[in-house]
Amino acid sequence: MSPDRARKMKQYFRPGKRVHLVGIGGVSMRPLALVLRERGLEISGSDMNASVTTDELIAKGITVYIGHRAENTEGADCIIRTAAARNDNPEIAAARAKGIPVFERAEAWGVIMQEYANAICIAGTHGKTTTTGMVTHIFMEAGRDPTVMIGGYLPLLGAGHRVGKGDTIIAESCEYCNSFHNFFPTVAVINNIEEDHLDFFKDLRDIQKSFRHFAMQIPASGKLIANGDDENTREALAGLPYLSFGFGEHNDVHPVNISEDWRCFDVVCGSKPYCRVELGVYGKFNACNALGACAVAWYMGIDGETAARGLASFHGAGRRLEFKGTCNGADVYDDYAHHPHELKAMLEAVRTRHYQRIVLAFQPHTYSRTKALFRQFVEVLKIPDLVVFAEIYAAREQNTIGIHSSDLAAEVPGSVCFETLPEVSDYLRSIARPGDIILTVGAGDIYKAGEAICESRDL
């Protein structure tokens, strides 16, 4: 984002101005709406469907229109849109015709970010929400009173955002549509880089270029922190200085004395002991996320004991192996994983819990991702004892590809496939037994199936 555009936006982010958000129910649009309202702006918004999120915004006094219509923009001084809202959206088209400025969601967060001395941006294909949550716990424990924008629900905050009075903002930073190029990080974390969002990016090399561009936005006085074990990340950042974290001892921040379940280990920072970590979450991937969070804390001058307390108090963000309840003696968990690597990491973490049977109810997310990563999905989906497929969650797409969950089911032995969530929940309820873990997994609304069987109610 150019300085001129940032200055233009700032004139609309003043008390009394009315801002209309297109796609207000999105994971980063909702906290943006609340943050702007707390700054004294008048907020309205629209979304395609009613949801728990839109209901909550309405309960907080924000006008939310269900469905996108030109008349929803009446009286707005400017429009902020989610990345999924294209120029042919009725509200965007109407605003442009009237000369009402239209800004991107990421641009709005970028402008807000400039008001803080410390802007900590957490990026990467996987682990962004969890790492952002861990960093938030540490900074809250340290009394830094941060402002937070996270792409999920964090129990500590009771929300996905927080407006603090300190000099630090902690922001989950997504690469989709190059949105994080609009940010102004003073400290940036890159967890990993893999092929994803191939409806926008051409290929892995294109994704690596995007992350490199993001990394180069950090000022000379700031710090880049990156996973030194991840080959794609190292390639993307070749020639750039950064503080590395990972399991290898070549990293600036690495663990020693690791427990079998990856929950407990000593952290070494700059060749010196920093802290003893005892995590409230499972899996090697969460241990790596914690190392990234420790690297941030160490660089920002937070002592190891405080960092350890902060990490110990973190028990996961919403929809990240979140315990939902029980069904016929089976434990029911929900997870947001929607990429093969995330699925594999989550399933490996679950294996350490030694359940008799792993039942995975999986809802693929977007047609383009399902097609592009089809073979990878098939291989990972052979890990559970039983896979129950829900139909692909379309999100922002139309099924011009002609792909369905049944195509995956045909390649996964013993799996079953259903068109509707009530059918998924009925089947899960019928097979659940003591010793099972039932996982509802995906970035769409598959969580409803798990909630239904726990609460013994229909969808």
393-421 confidence digits (pLDDT tens): 998 899 999 999 999 999 999 999 999 99
Amino acid at 417: C
- Residue whose pair of structure tokens reads 């750039």 in the numeric block: 240
- What structural domains and CATH numbers belong to the chain? 3-105 (3.40.50.720), 116-312 (3.40.1190.10), 322-455 (3.90.190.20)
Percentage, residues of the chain above pLDDT 90: 87
pLDDT band at 327 (very low <50, low <70, confident <90, very high): very high
Percentage, residues of the chain above pLDDT 70: 99
Q: Hey, what are 98's tokens?
A: 């009237």
What's this model's pTM, rounded to 2 decimal places? 0.85
- Interatomic CA distance for residues 311 and 139, integer angstroms: 10
In whole angstroms, how large is the CA radius of gyration of the chain?
22
Question: What DSSP line would sit under 63-110, residue for residue?
Answer: EEEES--GGGGTT-SEEEE-TT--TTSHHHHHHHHHT--EEEHHHHHH
Please report the pLDDT score of residue 5 as a whole number.
87
Which residue in the list 91, 107, 141, 172 is annotated as catalytic?
172
Q: Does the active-site annotation cover 128?
A: yes
Please report the pLDDT score of residue 356 as a whole number.
98
Please report the pLDDT score of residue 438 as a whole number.
98
- Summarised one tens digit per residue, pLDDT across range 349-376 is 999 899 999 999 999 999 999 999 999 9
- Interatomic CA distance for residues 221 and 208, integer angstroms: 23
- Interatomic CA distance for residues 45 and 31, integer angstroms: 12
Containing H/E element for 9?
A: helix 3-10
- Interatomic CA distance for residues 185 and 333, integer angstroms: 34
Please report the pLDDT score of residue 152 as a whole number.
83
- Summarised one tens digit per residue, pLDDT across range 212-241 is 999 999 999 999 999 999 999 999 999 999
pLDDT at 447 over 60: yes
Please report the pLDDT score of residue 319 as a whole number.
85
pLDDT band at 26 (very low <50, low <70, confident <90, very high): confident
pLDDT band at 31 (very low <50, low <70, confident <90, very high): confident
Please report the pLDDT score of residue 451 as a whole number.
95
Please report the pLDDT score of residue 127 as a whole number.
95
Which residue in the list 129, 186, 366, 370 is annotated as catalytic?
129
Q: What is the mean pLDDT of residues 39-44?
A: 94
Please report the pLDDT score of residue 455 as a whole number.
65
- Interatomic CA distance for residues 152 and 127, integer angstroms: 12
Please report the pLDDT score of residue 7 as a whole number.
85
| Burial label, 346 (beta-carbon count in 10 A; 0-12, 13-18, 19+) | buried
- Residue whose pair of structure tokens reads 């920072």 in the numeric block: 269
Q: What is the mean pLDDT of residues 369-397?
A: 96
Which residue in the list 54, 128, 132, 324 is annotated as catalytic?
128
Q: Hey, what are 85's tokens?
A: 């809202």
- Interatomic CA distance for residues 187 and 264, integer angstroms: 26
Q: What is the mean pLDDT of residues 341-355?
A: 94
Q: Does the active-site annotation cover 172?
A: yes
Other C-beta atoms closer than 10 Å to the C-beta of 86 total 10
- Summarised one tens digit per residue, pLDDT across range 42-98 is 999 999 989 888 998 999 999 999 999 999 999 999 999 997 888 999 999 999 999
